[in-house]
């Protein structure tokens, strides 16, 4: 290691230590200071809080571009999210902000100013914060492609200057007015519309309901209009009816008894459409299985009609809806024994996992088993814990596990690779242990992904028990 690298490391450590010491000094200030002094403290803290993200933009972009071997061949995005203990969604927001406000280089390696140069300067000065930046970024996200570069640069400078003297809500008003000035007729081309199309399905709430938002292009809107005209009229696709009307026209009596509002009828129409497509068999296969719903639960939950089931996408389904799913299409429902967590049936030995074995993995592992990974089972590949060819591993359900496309390549036979093995005993029996290479963890302590089994976060981790699992 060169001396310059050591100095750079020492300088970084000294700077971070000084920052921490400054925060300790502020924390030690007496609470009896006059109110005007307290207001000055708030201003200073707000300015510092706004500057700190700007200092991290270049570091974030550099870490993301690091060669694979720097972080043990792990996906750089996962390394950052785990190191900072932030969600992947928050990481994506920070990446987008860094790409707009961080330094750039030309194709020849020459330094270039930030894409939003004036906004970046205002953030570095501590004059604007995250909400101001969101207004500016949203403005350009919605600006038509027809607006030329020079006009865009003037608009960015104008908004950045206004942001230094306005609250975010005031800036939003100014941005909307500027948008109306630059595009008074609301003219957008096909590329603008294609860029704005989206569908976002939010997280499940405590009641297991999900809120989503979407921006539909004209073609999707036309499709939805005809769908709702048929299946969202009163009396159609009503789950409250013993035999919901789907193909034929509902009678006046059935329609008059329909107490759903328009939004509820449209929701049920979309659900009926999805159900019909899944039942048709026209969606082909995904990772060796027909495209259909895979849901798992335990025998104890079935007997008591309590708890919930888990889908291959990681969402939860109430037990009564779990049972109702079994009456529709060809959904796969897997049930587990509560006593030891093992599936009630196993697959057969061959090179490629059979569909029934994949179903067992959906039910048992629910998603990628690499520690901390959040990719659900629908997006994972089958992995032999014991290599099928090199170690004569069997393709049995209890020897298979899930690994996503990012973490599956990390497993290998060299000293720089991760290894996997099924947990043979203890509270995690049947789960997959990932053993890191020595350069990541000299003790090579086995790790388990608890993300899809959140109740395990509340359990104490015993080092000795962890070692016993692989014996």
Within 8 A by CB and 6+ apart from 51, the residues are 123, 124, 125, 126
Count the residues in the chain. Answer: 471
Can you read off the two tokens belonging to residue 335?
């049930």
**Helix H or strand E encompassing 449:** none
Strand ranges (E), 97-215: 104-105, 111-112, 198-204, 210-215
pLDDT tens string 260-299: 999 999 999 999 998 888 878 788 887 767 777 777 776 5
Whole-structure pTM over 0.85, yes or no? Answer: no
Residue 470: count of CB within 10 angstroms of its CB: 14
Q: Give domain limits for the chain.
A: 46-182, 202-280, 368-468
Residue 6 has pLDDT above 50, yes or no: no
Residue 349 has pLDDT above 50, yes or no: no
Contact present, 429 and 340 (Cβ < 8 Å): yes
Which pLDDT band holds residue 4 (cuts at 50, 70, 90)?
very low
The C-alpha atoms of residue 448 and residue 423 are separated, in whole angstroms, by: 9
DSSP state of 249: P
* Residue 235, SS3 per DSSP: coil
Dihedral sign from CA coordinates of 121, 126, 128, 133: positive
Give the C-alpha distances (Å, rounded to integers) separating 438 from 203, 348, 415, 443.
37, 34, 7, 7
- Region 307-330: what's the mean pLDDT? 71
Residue 307 has pLDDT above 80, yes or no: no
Contact present, 429 and 406 (Cβ < 8 Å): no
């Amino acid at each position: 290691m060169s001396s310059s690298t050591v100095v750079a490391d020492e300088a970084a450590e000294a700077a971070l230590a000084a920052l921490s010491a400054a925060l300790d000094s502020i924390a030690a200030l007496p609470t009896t200071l006059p109110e005007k002094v307290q207001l000055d403290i708030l201003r200073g803290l707000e300015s510092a809080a706004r500057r700190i993200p700007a200092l991290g933009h270049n570091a974030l972009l550099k870490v993301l571009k690091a060669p694979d071997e720097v972080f043990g061949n792990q996906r750089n995005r996962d390394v950052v999210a785990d190191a900072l203990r932030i969600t992947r969604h928050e990481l994506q927001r920070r990446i987008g902000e860094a790409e707009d406000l961080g330094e750039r280089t030309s194709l020849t390696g020459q330094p270039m100013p930030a894409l939003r140069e004036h906004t970046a300067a205002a953030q570095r000065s501590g004059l604007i914060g995250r909400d101001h930046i969101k207004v500016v970024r949203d403005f350009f996200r919605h600006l038509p492609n027809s607006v030329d570069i020079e006009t865009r640069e003037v608009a960015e400078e104008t908004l950045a200057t206004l942001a230094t003297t306005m609250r975010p809500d005031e800036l939003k008003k100014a941005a909307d007015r500027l948008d109306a000035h630059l595009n008074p007729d609301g003219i957008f081309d096909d590329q603008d519309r294609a860029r704005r199309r989206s569908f976002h399905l939010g997280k499940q709430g405590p009641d297991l309901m999900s809120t989503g938002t979407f921006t539909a292009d004209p073609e999707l809107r036309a499709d939805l209009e005809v769908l709702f005209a048929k299946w969202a009229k009163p009396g159609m696709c009503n789950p409250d009816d013993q035999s919901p009307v789907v193909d034929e026209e509902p009678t006046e009596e059935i329609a008059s008894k329909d107490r759903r509002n328009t939004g509820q009828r449209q929701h049920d129409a979309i659900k009926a459409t999805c159900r019909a497509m899944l039942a048709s068999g026209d969606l082909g296969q995904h990772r060796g299985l027909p495209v259909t719903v895979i849901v798992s639960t335990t025998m104890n939950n079935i007997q008591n009609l309590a708890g919930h089931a888990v889908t291959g996408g990681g969402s939860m389904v109430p037990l009564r809806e779990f049972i109702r799913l079994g009456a529709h299409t060809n959904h796969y429902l897997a049930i587990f024994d509560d006593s030891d967590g093992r599936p009630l049936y196993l697959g057969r030995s061959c090179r490629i996992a059979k569909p029934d074995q994949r179903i067992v993995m959906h039910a048992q592992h629910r998603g990628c088993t690499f520690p901390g990974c959040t990719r659900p089972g629908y997006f994972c590949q089958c992995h032999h814990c014991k290599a099928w060819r090199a170690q004569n591993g069997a393709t049995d359900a209890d020897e298979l596990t899930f690994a996503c496309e990012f973490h599956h390549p990390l497993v290998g036979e060299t000293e720089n690779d991760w290894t996997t093995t099924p947990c043979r005993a203890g509270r995690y029996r049947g789960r997959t242990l990932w053993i890191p290479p020595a350069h990541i963890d000299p003790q090579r302590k086995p790790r388990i992904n608890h993300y899809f089994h959140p109740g395990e976060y509340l359990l104490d981790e015993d080092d000795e028990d962890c070692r016993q699992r692989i014996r």
